[in-house]
């Protein structure tokens, strides 16, 4: 999940190649990256980055610019290349603000004032959360449904914690409140309010810790690790620290633990592998994938963790993600061809897997197949692809393709996901 705010926009004229290089250098420095690190992530020599930054090389073509934006987490393409006349800003890694976002933000930001109404029971809140998670995984417009449910859930969970009259009741209510924040984190991710994402993540962690519930603590760590990792290379160590601290707490108790606790241990192990793949540490990445897979194979065949999607069915999808992050085109395609999307019971997770497959095919130069796969992702869960930066960048790049058929398909998809107007 993407989590940090865009740096302040720069307004240097875009027709000066040195200005583009200056932007690259500024964003690289803000990410705490050296030229060598940026070059490695882009697959170029350090001298190539130096030439770009000093303006001795002309601005590269769109595919390379998009890759630089991805690596540096530049949210709007205009922030990297400069203002282009009156053209609108193209936001690559944050989706459009959802219509439900203001109401969810208001519920999260409101002061917990005393209320005359009685708090709902934990059983009622649990049933409401069950319905919300079912909608999250089953509805194609899952953000719309969850966004409608969250304001009431947030207020009810807060009231239940405040009115709990015993230590045990308070801990149960805190566990419920933590899970409400977990659901909220899925909603606010990739939307244009990164500070709200961090606020939700921190509140979820606090509620989980106060509940002393191992499962809640594990999920909070899983979400926090994603928020740190998506903040860029300078935060990878923080992501690892969160994961390792959680594993040290949970692993000693995992034998005989409930399935959900076992699953969150497996999900955390994959997160360690994901971060290693981001660093291009192939051995460590696949080693953690193997550890996560061993956990998955001990779970029942049909098991599916409703927060992390962890289970046997998702490990193939995780393999695609590792290979893509390692920038291994051939291995990415092999993993993509092996992983069966239909086995994943969650619509948004299935769509996300399709997007990762599309990244694999695109990395291998199979652009037609990548577009077909993105179309399948859109059919599975339109709101998932609409808010996914990788899908948006592929569609944007293909909308300028010299191949008319690809350009037309990408242009239609760009309209459907809200990148361009009809």
Q: Quick: pLDDT tens for 205-221.
A: 999 999 999 999 999 99
Tokens found for residue 54: 């000093």
- The pLDDT of residue 113: 66
**Alpha carbon distances (Å) from 197 to 92, 201, 230, 280, 345:** 18, 6, 12, 27, 26
- The pLDDT of residue 401: 84
Tokens found for residue 36: 């060598």
CB 112 within 8 Å of CB 162: yes
CB 80 within 8 Å of CB 10: no
Phi, psi of 76 (to 5 degrees): -115, 130
- The pLDDT of residue 39: 85
Q: Could you report how far apart the first and last alpha carbons of the chain are, in Å?
A: 29
- The pLDDT of residue 5: 31
Is residue 217 classed as helix, strand or coil in its secondary structure? helix
Place of tokens 């990762």: 356
Q: What is the pTM of this model?
A: 0.78
Residue 91: strand pairing partners: 76
CB 239 within 8 Å of CB 271: yes
Domains and CATH numbers, the chain: 1-93 (1.10.260.40), 97-212 (no CATH), 213-310 (no CATH)
- The pLDDT of residue 89: 46
Q: How are the residues of the chain apportioned to helix, strand and coil, as percentages rounded to the nearest 5? A: 70, 0, 30
Tokens found for residue 27: 């964003």
Residues of the chain with pLDDT under 50: 1-18, 84-90
Separation between Cα atoms, residue 40 and residue 326, nearest integer Å: 11
Separation between Cα atoms, residue 197 and residue 105, nearest integer Å: 10
Separation between Cα atoms, residue 211 and residue 58, nearest integer Å: 56
């Amino acid at each position: 999940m993407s989590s940090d705010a865009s740096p302040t926009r720069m307004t240097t004229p875009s027709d000066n190649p040195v200005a583009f290089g200056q932007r690259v250098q500024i964003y690289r420095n803000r990410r705490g990256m050296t030229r060598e690190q940026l070059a490695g992530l882009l697959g170029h020599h350090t001298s190539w980055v130096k030439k770009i930054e000093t303006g001795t090389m002309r601005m590269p073509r769109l595919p390379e610019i998009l890759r630089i934006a991805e690596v540096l987490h530049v949210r709007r393409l205009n922030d990297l290349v400069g203002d282009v006349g009156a053209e609108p800003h193209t936001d690559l890694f944050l989706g459009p603000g959802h219509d439900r976002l203001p109401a969810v933000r208001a519920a999260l930001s409101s002061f917990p004032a005393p209320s005359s109404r009685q708090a709902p029971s934990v059983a009622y809140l649990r049933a409401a959360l069950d319905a919300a998670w079912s909608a999250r995984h089953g509805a194609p417009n899952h953000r719309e449904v969850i966004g409608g449910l969250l304001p009431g859930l947030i207020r009810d969970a807060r009231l239940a914690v405040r009115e709990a009259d015993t230590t045990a009741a308070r801990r149960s209510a805190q566990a419920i409140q933590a899970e409400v924040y977990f659901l909220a984190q899925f909603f606010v991710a990739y939307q244009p309010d990164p500070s709200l994402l961090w606020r939700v993540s921190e509140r979820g962690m606090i509620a989980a810790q106060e509940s002393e519930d191992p499962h809640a603590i594990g999920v909070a760590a899983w979400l926090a690790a994603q928020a740190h990792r998506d903040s860029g290379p300078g935060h990878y160590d923080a992501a690892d620290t969160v994961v390792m601290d959680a594993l040290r707490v949970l692993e000693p108790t995992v034998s005989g633990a409930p399935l959900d606790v076992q699953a969150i241990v497996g999900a955390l192990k994959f997160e360690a592998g994901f971060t290693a793949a981001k660093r291009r540490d192939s051995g460590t990445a696949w080693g953690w994938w193997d550890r996560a897979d061993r956990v998955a194979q001990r779970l029942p065949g049909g098991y599916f963790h409703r927060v992390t999607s962890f289970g046997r069915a998702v490990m193939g999808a995780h393999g695609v993600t590792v290979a893509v992050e390692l920038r291994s085109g051939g291995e990415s395609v092999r993993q993509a061809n092996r992983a069966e999307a239909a086995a994943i019971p969650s619509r948004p997770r299935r769509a996300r897997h399709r997007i990762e497959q599309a990244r694999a095919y695109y990395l291998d130069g199979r652009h037609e197949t990548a577009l077909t796969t993105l179309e399948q992702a859109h059919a599975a869960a339109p709101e998932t692809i609409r808010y996914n930066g990788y899908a948006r960048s592929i569609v944007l790049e293909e909308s300028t393709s010299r191949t008319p058929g690809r350009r037309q398909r990408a242009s239609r998809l760009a309209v459907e996901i809200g990148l361009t107007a009809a």
